[in-house]
Amino acid sequence: MALWGGRFTQAADKRFKDFNDSLRFDYRLAEQDIQGSIGWSKALVKVNVLTVEEQHQLEQALN
């Protein structure tokens, strides 16, 4: 039984199940995703969306 089984009256859409089943693969990409997020946060500093301090906080949280 899925964790959300008790909350809903209808079965989950097959597309949702297929997406959720991809998590095993997604875990293998976690390190690359984190590195990409750090890189993106640095780019956001350059265009004044994030401050340097905010970027440092994000990077510390991701590492």
Host domain of residue 50: 34-63
Q: Is the pLDDT of residue 12 over 90?
A: no
* Number of domains comprising the chain: 1
Euclidean distance between CA atoms 38 and 52, whole angstroms: 12
CB 57 within 8 A of CB 47: no
Global pTM value: 0.64
User: Is 55 part of any domain?
Assistant: yes
Q: Is the pLDDT of residue 18 over 80?
A: yes
User: Is 48 part of any domain?
Assistant: yes
Backbone φ and ψ of 13, nearest 5°: -60, 145
Which has more confidence, 18 or 34?
A: 34
Q: Is the pLDDT of residue 4 over 70?
A: no
